[in-house]
Structure 1
Amino acid sequence: MIEKIKINNRASYDQVGIVLDQLKQVNFIYGTNGTGKTTLSNSIKNSEEFPDCKITWNRDIAIKKLVYNKEFVEENFHQKNNIKGIFTLGKESLDIQEKITSKASEITKLNDEMLKLKDNFIQKSIERNENEAEYEEKCWILKIKYDSDLEEAFKGYRAGKNKFKDKCKLESINADTSMIFEELKSLSSKIFRGTKQRIHTINYIEFKGTSTVINNPILNNRIIGQEDIDIANLITKLNISDWVKQGHIHMQMTEGICPFCQQNLNEVFKVKLDQYFNDSYNEQLKELEGFNYKYVTMVDEILNQIENVLKLENEFIHNENIITQKIIIFTKHESNKILIMKKMKEPSCSVTLEAIGEELQKISECINQANKNISNHNAIIDNFNFEKDKLITSIWTFIAAENKEDHKIYVEKDYRFEKAISGITSTINVKNAKILELILEVEELESQITSVTPSINGMNKLLQSFSFTNFKFLETSERGSYSIVRQDGEDAKQTLSEGEKTFVTFLYFIHLLNGSNDKSRITENKIVVIDDPISSLDSNILFIVSNLIRKIIEDIRTQKGTIQQVFILTHNIYFHKEVTFNKGKGSNKLKDETFWILRKNNNISEIQGFDCNPIKTSYELLWQEIQFAQERSSNTVQNLIRRIIENYFKIFGNYSEDDIINKFQDEEQIICRALLSWINDGSHFTNDDLYIECNNDTVIKYLSIFERIFEVTGHHAHFKMMMGIEDVA
Structure 2
Amino acid sequence: MSIKKFKHINNLAVFQDFDWDAIIRDDKGAIVEFSPINIFYGRNYSGKTTLSRIMRALELGTISDKYEAPEFTVCIKDLSDVTQVNLSAHTKKVRVFNEDFVKENLRFISNADESIVPFAILGGNTALEEEIKNLSNELGLEHEETPTGFYLERKNAREIYRTAKNTHETIIKQLDSKLTQKATSRETGIKYKPERFGDQNYNKTKLDADITLTLTDGFEPITDEAQQTLLILLDEKPNANIVALSRQNFSLVELSTEAELLVTKSLTASGKIEELVRNSILNKWVKEGKTLHEHKLVNCTFCGNKITEERWSALESHFDEESEKLSRGIASLMTKVEAEVSLVSDFLSFDNNAFYSKFHPNLNRLRVGMEHILEQYKESLEQLRLQLGARADDIINVGTFSEPVDFSTRLVKAYDFYEGIRSQSNAYTGKLSGDQASARTSLRLKEVYDFVTTIQYLEEVKNIEILKEKLDEKEADGKTIANKIKDQINLIESKQRLMNDEEKGALKVNEYLNNYFGHDFLTLKAIEEPDSITDGKKIRFEIVRNGNKAHHLSEGECSLIAFCYFMAKLEDIDTKGQKPIIWIDDPISSLDGNHIFFIYSLINSKIVTSQEFEQLFISTHNLDFLKYLKRLPGALNKNQSKYFMTVREGEKSQIKLMPKYLKDYVTEFNYLFHQIYICANADTDDDDQHIVYYNFANNARKFLESFLFYKYPNAVEHDEKLYRFFGDNRQASSMTERINNEYSHLEGIFERSMIPVDVPEMKKVANFVLDRIKEKDLDQFESLLKSIGVQLLEEPEENV
TM-score, length basis structure 1: 0.56
- Higher alpha-carbon deviation: 272-281 or 11-20: 272-281
Partner of 1:435: 485
In the alignment, is the contact (CA less than 8 A) between 2:95 and 2:583 conserved in 1? yes
Shift of residue 129, structure 1, vs aligned partner: 2.5
Partner of 1:548: 602
Alignment of 1:118 onto 2:173: no
Which of 538, 546, 560 matches 1:503?
560
Partner of 2:169: 129
- Are residues 621 and 464 of structure 1, via their aligned partners in 2, closer, same or farther at CA, if it must alter by over 3 Å? same
In the alignment, is the contact (CA less than 8 A) between 2:96 and 2:582 conserved in 1? yes
Alignment of 1:481 onto 2:540: yes
Alignment of 1:444 onto 2:494: yes
In the alignment, is the contact (CA less than 8 A) between 1:172 and 1:407 conserved in 2? no
Spell out, residue by residue over 1:237-289, the C-alpha distance to the aligned partner (whole angstroms, 9 max, x if none): xxxxxxx9xxx9xxxxxxxxxxxxxxxxxx99x99999999657744652454
Larger RCO (CA within 8 A; separation ≥ 6):
1
Instruction: Determine the C-alpha separation between the residues in 1 that align with 2:163 and 2:649.
Output: 43
Give the alignment of 1:29-40 within 5 angstroms. Answer: 29-40=40-51
Partner of 2:640: 592
- Are residues 316 and 530 of structure 1, via their aligned partners in 2, closer, same or farther at CA, if it must alter by over 3 Å? same
Which of 14, 17, 20 matches 2:17?
14
Instruction: Determine the C-alpha separation between the residues in 1 that align with 2:662 and 2:220.
Output: 73
Match of 1:54, SS state, is strand
Instruction: Determine the C-alpha separation between the residues in 2 that align with 1:426 and 1:136.
Output: 26
Instruction: Determine the C-alpha separation between the residues in 1 that align with 2:660 and 2:416.
Output: 95
Partner of 1:294: 340
Partner of 2:178: 138
Q: Any stretches of 5+ residues in structure 1 without a counterpart?
A: 196-201, 214-224, 236-243, 249-266, 330-346, 348-359, 623-646, 652-683, 685-729
Instruction: Determine the C-alpha separation between the residues in 2 that align with 1:23 and 1:366.
Output: 92
- Are residues 183 and 230 of structure 1, via their aligned partners in 2, closer, same or farther at CA, if it must alter by over 3 Å? closer
Shift of residue 526, structure 1, vs aligned partner: 1.7
Q: Percent identity, please.
A: 17
- Are residues 284 and 159 of structure 1, via their aligned partners in 2, closer, same or farther at CA, if it must alter by over 3 Å? closer
- Are residues 594 and 9 of structure 1, via their aligned partners in 2, closer, same or farther at CA, if it must alter by over 3 Å? closer
- Are residues 186 and 292 of structure 1, via their aligned partners in 2, closer, same or farther at CA, if it must alter by over 3 Å? closer
Which of 442, 458, 471 matches 1:407?
458
Instruction: Determine the C-alpha separation between the residues in 2 that align with 1:496 and 1:610.
Output: 36
Query: Which amino acid is the alignment partner of residue 499 of structure 1?
Result: G
Shift of residue 577, structure 1, vs aligned partner: 2.5
Partner of 1:93: 125
Instruction: Determine the C-alpha separation between the residues in 2 that align with 1:488 and 1:46.
Output: 38
- Are residues 186 and 315 of structure 1, via their aligned partners in 2, closer, same or farther at CA, if it must alter by over 3 Å? closer
Q: Any stretches of 5+ residues in structure 2 without a counterpart?
A: 25-30, 63-69, 81-89, 141-148, 239-243, 256-282, 297-308, 372-388, 390-410, 530-537, 671-701, 707-724, 726-800
Which of 557, 564, 583 matches 2:614?
564
Match of 2:528, SS state, is coil
| Larger helix fraction of residues | 1
Instruction: Determine the C-alpha separation between the residues in 2 that align with 1:15 and 1:490.
Output: 46
Shift of residue 474, structure 1, vs aligned partner: 1.7
In the alignment, is the contact (CA less than 8 A) between 1:476 and 1:482 conserved in 2? yes
Shift of residue 42, structure 1, vs aligned partner: 2.3
Alignment of 1:56 onto 2:114: no
- Are residues 164 and 607 of structure 1, via their aligned partners in 2, closer, same or farther at CA, if it must alter by over 3 Å? farther
Instruction: Determine the C-alpha separation between the residues in 1 that align with 2:631 and 2:594.
Output: 18
- Are residues 181 and 299 of structure 1, via their aligned partners in 2, closer, same or farther at CA, if it must alter by over 3 Å? closer
Give the alignment of 1:676-695 within 5 angstroms. Answer: none
Which of 509, 515, 520 matches 2:572?
515
- Are residues 367 and 282 of structure 1, via their aligned partners in 2, closer, same or farther at CA, if it must alter by over 3 Å? closer
Partner of 1:41: 52
Partner of 1:106: 138
Match of 2:359, SS state, is coil
Spell out, residue by residue over 1:694-727, the C-alpha distance to the aligned partner (whole angstroms, 9 max, x if none): xxxxxxxxxxxxxxxxxxxxxxxxxxxxxxxxxx
Root mean square deviation, CA, Å: 6.1
Instruction: Determine the C-alpha separation between the residues in 1 that align with 2:182 and 2:420.
Output: 33
Instruction: Determine the C-alpha separation between the residues in 2 that align with 1:284 and 1:523.
Output: 133
Give the alignment of 1:163-202 within 5 angstroms. Answer: 164-165=207-208, 168=211, 172=215, 174=217, 180=223, 183=226
Give the alignment of 1:41-440 within 5 angstroms. Answer: 41-47=52-58, 52-58=72-78, 62-78=91-107, 80=111, 81-90=114-123, 92-108=124-140, 109-143=149-183, 145-146=189-190, 161=204, 164-165=207-208, 168=211, 172=215, 174=217, 180=223, 183=226, 227-228=285-286, 282-283=328-329, 285-287=331-333, 289-291=335-337, 293-295=339-341, 297-298=343-344, 302-303=348-349, 306=350, 316-318=358-360, 398=449, 401-402=452-453, 405-415=456-466, 417-440=467-490
Instruction: Determine the C-alpha separation between the residues in 2 that align with 1:500 and 1:84.
Output: 18
Instruction: Determine the C-alpha separation between the residues in 1 that align with 2:446 and 2:224.
Output: 9
Spell out, residue by residue over 1:15-72, the C-alpha distance to the aligned partner (whole angstroms, 9 max, x if none): 7455887544323333444443333222233246577523424578723210112221
In the alignment, is the contact (CA less than 8 A) between 1:204 and 1:367 conserved in 2? no
Spell out, residue by residue over 1:593-636, the C-alpha distance to the aligned partner (whole angstroms, 9 max, x if none): 333444456866544568999612166999xxxxxxxxxxxxxx
In the alignment, is the contact (CA less than 8 A) between 1:7 and 1:43 conserved in 2? no
In the alignment, is the contact (CA less than 8 A) between 1:474 and 1:482 conserved in 2? yes
Query: Which amino acid is the alignment partner of residue 39 of structure 1?
Result: T
Instruction: Determine the C-alpha separation between the residues in 1 that align with 2:660 and 2:610.
Output: 20
Instruction: Determine the C-alpha separation between the residues in 2 that align with 1:180 and 1:369.
Output: 28
Partner of 1:25: 36
Instruction: Determine the C-alpha separation between the residues in 2 that align with 1:611 and 1:126.
Output: 45
Shift of residue 509, structure 1, vs aligned partner: 0.7
Shift of residue 97, structure 1, vs aligned partner: 2.0
- Higher alpha-carbon deviation: 20-29 or 605-614: 605-614
Query: Which amino acid is the alignment partner of residue 99 of structure 1?
Result: E
Shift of residue 115, structure 1, vs aligned partner: 3.1
Instruction: Determine the C-alpha separation between the residues in 2 that align with 1:75 and 1:547.
Output: 26
Instruction: Determine the C-alpha separation between the residues in 2 that align with 1:101 and 1:580.
Output: 35
Instruction: Determine the C-alpha separation between the residues in 2 that align with 1:471 and 1:427.
Output: 54
Instruction: Determine the C-alpha separation between the residues in 1 that align with 2:591 and 2:116.
Output: 22
Query: Which amino acid is the alignment partner of residue 228 of structure 1?
Result: V
In the alignment, is the contact (CA less than 8 A) between 2:40 and 2:620 conserved in 1? yes
Shift of residue 408, structure 1, vs aligned partner: 0.8
Instruction: Determine the C-alpha separation between the residues in 1 that align with 2:338 and 2:646.
Output: 116
Instruction: Determine the C-alpha separation between the residues in 1 that align with 2:170 and 2:416.
Output: 56
- Are residues 189 and 231 of structure 1, via their aligned partners in 2, closer, same or farther at CA, if it must alter by over 3 Å? closer
Spell out, residue by residue over 1:570-594, the C-alpha distance to the aligned partner (whole angstroms, 9 max, x if none): 33333222112258x89442x4333
Shift of residue 500, structure 1, vs aligned partner: 2.3
Query: Which amino acid is the alignment partner of residue 587 of structure 2?
Result: P
Shift of residue 412, structure 1, vs aligned partner: 1.9
Instruction: Determine the C-alpha separation between the residues in 2 that align with 1:148 and 1:618.
Output: 71
In the alignment, is the contact (CA less than 8 A) between 1:229 and 1:275 conserved in 2? no
Query: Which amino acid is the alignment partner of residue 511 of structure 1?
Result: A
Instruction: Determine the C-alpha separation between the residues in 1 that align with 2:212 and 2:288.
Output: 101
Instruction: Determine the C-alpha separation between the residues in 1 that align with 2:421 and 2:661.
Output: 93
Instruction: Determine the C-alpha separation between the residues in 2 that align with 1:467 and 1:475.
Output: 20
In the alignment, is the contact (CA less than 8 A) between 1:32 and 1:599 conserved in 2? yes
Shift of residue 2, structure 1, vs aligned partner: 1.4
Shift of residue 508, structure 1, vs aligned partner: 0.8
